[in-house]
Amino acid sequence: MSTKSQFGSKIGLIAATVGSAIGLGNVWRFPAETQANGGAAFLLLYIACVFVLGVPVMLAEFSLGRGGRSDAVGVFKKLSPGKWWWIVGAVAILASYLILSYYMVVAGWTAEYLWQSITGNLYDAVHNSDIAASDAAFASRMNQYICSDTAPLLFTYAVIIINIIVLLGGVQKGIERLSNIMMPLLFVLLLALCAVTLSLPGAGEGLKFFLSPDFSKIDAGTVVNALGQTFFSLSLGMGILITYSSYYPSDTRLTRTSVIVSLMSLLVAVMMGCIIFPAVTTFGLDRHPLEGATLVFVTLPEVFAQLPASQLWSTIFFLLLFVAALTSTVSIAEVSIAFMQDRFKMTRLKSCMIVMLPLFALSAVCSLSFGSLESLKVFGMTIFDSLDAFTTNILLPLVSMGVCVYVGWFAPDGLLRKQITNDGQIRSRITSAVYLIIRYVAPLMIAAIMVSKLV
């Protein structure tokens, strides 16, 4: 036993990593951020951040994972025994587990909306062409589907169970197989929705907002938001990429992989923009802010209600959302499972259970924080919101900072260089640039994000 698991094929490892990266960050956070930050100029800034910072930081995580071939704590213990760097990995595991507990709930909502679309309940009694009336109808549906106690909880449990089934299958037969099916499906669904929204009468106007930049909209706040979006949407700072890359074979080309993953994640974000902006301008829904949850659970159902075959488009959209969320939950759960397996030499079954079963309680608390537990506040926020704020504003930047400082300055000699060049077997022209970014640029930018979030 205890030879480390590996992905079985190149396509599979890319599908799994892309599956992790593509999540609610691309599908709902990106359009909302783009709208709030002035449209196309934000898109350009985001693209720049992905390549200038995202790819190098991703390479740093990859070199830790494949160089150390262990879980997020184990890589630091192996590479720098007797030092305290493993704490960076421990914070990553803590962050990933907390995120997992509330992300499961959101994944549960996507499952619930998928179900309500399939059964037609979502559109029952909303055949109203009056936008104000249908706005109210879908807002009250959201209230009913998300803020009641029982139904959201049951759907969250269903998603936890699906996760357990996949994760029990292990790296190749579980995660890789799921991703190989889900990722092509995701792109087909996206293309279908793009075809519909791009043929709407207001498509041109919507695309103009999304694609023709107004640089006067860029200020320090926009830059910080683009940076935050980059880290979240590429799954950086969560220990996921360290864990997944520990399953990469030694001939995997890390630079190529990181560029492909970033491009795919970007492509999905851009396609989502091409779906959402034409749709909301066509129906005059772009006047109110497209905030995350309302955007996908109120605004888009309203759009679908205006189209022929509402139920079909709605089903396709929520299936897309569900697929995106599922491959992300699996990846973030794997961080803790790998930790249990590697650190405590547990079997897959035992580590899966120890990681997943407590979620039935933890995620329940997060889910109920929209219902019965709404009045329970931590720092003035619901439990759900406080977990989200604590992890994304504090823990994730801390981990990314730790990874950059470690790989840039303290890792065993030339770790990054060796990993990027597969131990000197392939040439790389970007190594020095990556070092420069990891050592100086990225830590400064991450510090800027933290300071601005805390102030």
Q: Residue 318, SS3? A: helix
Taking the C-alpha atoms of residue 293 and residue 279, their distance in angstroms, rounded to an integer, is 17
Nearer Cβ to ligand PHE, position 274 or 330?
330
Nearer Cβ to ligand PHE, position 167 or 332?
332
Q: Please report which helix (H) or strand (E) contains residue 381, including its range.
A: strand 381-382
Taking the C-alpha atoms of residue 430 and residue 146, their distance in angstroms, rounded to an integer, is 47
Residue 30 C-beta: closest distance to ligand PHE, Å: 8
Residue 28 C-beta: closest distance to ligand PHE, Å: 9
Nearer Cβ to ligand PHE, position 76 or 102?
102
Of 15, 18, 21, 387, which lies in the binding site for ligand PHE, with binding defined by CB under 6 A? Answer: 21
Distances (CA, A) of 454 to 225, 338, 389, 393, 394: 14, 32, 10, 8, 8
CB 286 within 8 A of CB 40: no
Of 233, 369, 382, 391, which lies in the binding site for ligand PHE, with binding defined by CB under 6 A? Answer: 233
Question: Judged by CB under 6 A, does residue 163 bind ligand PHE?
Answer: no
Alpha helical stretches, state H, 344-408: 348-356, 359-368, 383-389, 396-405
Question: Judged by CB under 6 A, does residue 23 bind ligand PHE?
Answer: yes
Nearer Cβ to ligand PHE, position 180 or 235?
235
Q: Residues 29-68 vs ligand PHE: string with x where CB under 6 A?
A: ----------------------------------------
Distances (CA, A) of 44 to 49, 107, 205, 213, 304: 9, 29, 18, 8, 29
Residue 332 C-beta: closest distance to ligand PHE, Å: 4
Q: Please report which helix (H) or strand (E) contains residue 378, including its range.
A: strand 377-378
Residue type, 344: F
Nearer Cβ to ligand PHE, position 249 or 358?
358
Of 7, 62, 85, 103, which lies in the binding site for ligand PHE, with binding defined by CB under 6 A? Answer: 103
Question: Judged by CB under 6 A, does residue 268 bind ligand PHE?
Answer: no
And the tokens for 226? 């683009």
Question: Exposed, middle or buried, 274 (CB in 10 Å: 0-12/13-18/19+)?
Answer: buried
Nearer Cβ to ligand PHE, position 269 or 305?
269
φ and ψ of 381, to 5 deg:
-120, 160
CB 110 within 8 A of CB 335: no
Of 12, 25, 74, 402, which lies in the binding site for ligand PHE, with binding defined by CB under 6 A? Answer: 25
Sign of CA dihedral 49, 55, 61, 64: negative
φ and ψ of 370, to 5 deg:
-100, -10
Residue 204 C-beta: closest distance to ligand PHE, Å: 29
For ligand PHE, how many residues bind (rule: CB under 6 A)? 14
Nearer Cβ to ligand PHE, position 269 or 415?
269
Question: Judged by CB under 6 A, does residue 258 bind ligand PHE?
Answer: no
Residue 20 C-beta: closest distance to ligand PHE, Å: 5
Instruction: Give the distance, in angstroms, between the CA of residue 69 and the centroid of all CA atoms in the same chain.
Output: 23
CB 362 within 8 A of CB 101: yes
- Of 39-47, 230-238, 248-256, 375-383, which part binds ligand PHE (CB under 6 A)? 230-238
Of residues 317 through 356, those in contact with ligand PHE by CB under 6 A are 328, 331-332
- Of 16-24, 143-151, 157-165, 193-201, which part binds ligand PHE (CB under 6 A)? 16-24
DSSP annotation of 54 reads I
Nearer Cβ to ligand PHE, position 122 or 164?
164
Q: Taking the CB of residue 98, how many other CB atoms lie within 10 A of it?
A: 17
Residue type, 321: L
Residue 24 C-beta: closest distance to ligand PHE, Å: 5
And the tokens for 87? 């704490």
Residue 421 C-beta: closest distance to ligand PHE, Å: 27
Residue 327 C-beta: closest distance to ligand PHE, Å: 8
Of 155, 232, 244, 384, which lies in the binding site for ligand PHE, with binding defined by CB under 6 A? Answer: 232
Question: Judged by CB under 6 A, does residue 101 bind ligand PHE?
Answer: no
Q: Where are the beta strands (DSSP E) in 406-451?
A: none
Q: Which residues bind ligand PHE (CB under 6 A)?
A: 20-21, 23-26, 99, 103, 232-233, 235, 328, 331-332
